Amino acid sequence: MDRVIQLLINAAALYVAQLLVDGLDFDFSEAGAWWEFLLVALIFGLVNTFLKPILRLLTLPITMVTLGLFLLVLNALLLLFVGWISSELALGLTIDGFVPALLGSIVISLVSLVLSMVLGTTRRASRAA
């Protein structure tokens, strides 16, 4: 159930970002576009789950030198990657460049943080009983 909630949080964060950031657009004109949007949110979640930890480890030295600011660049690059996958699969998400990806990744992070706190889906250390 937590995976479904996380998918919906990702979808909501992507939706807010595409509303607020110029250059980050999704084509809702077709029938079934909401299913494609959920598929983009799923791809976004998979990229963040599997690719982001590897890249965070590989970029740890530059992240430490920049006091963590490089993580914003990494998030923007991953969002650009999701946009590229979406364009290759004709899912409707278009990102016009690095700056919209950077702003979009900031909006997505903030909206995801707030929704996760409101819904109580933040990661907690499980205790062995």
Which tens digit of pLDDT belongs to each residue from 107-117? 999 999 999 89
Decide if 75 contacts 103 (C-beta within 8 A). no
Q: Mean pLDDT, to the nearest integer, of 41-47? A: 94
The model's confidence at residue 129, banded by pLDDT at 50, 70 and 90, is very low
Give the number of other Cβ atoms within 10 Å of residue 89's Cβ: 13
The residue among 8, 35, 1 whose CA lies nearest residue 115 is: 8
pLDDT above 90 coverage of the chain, percent:
74
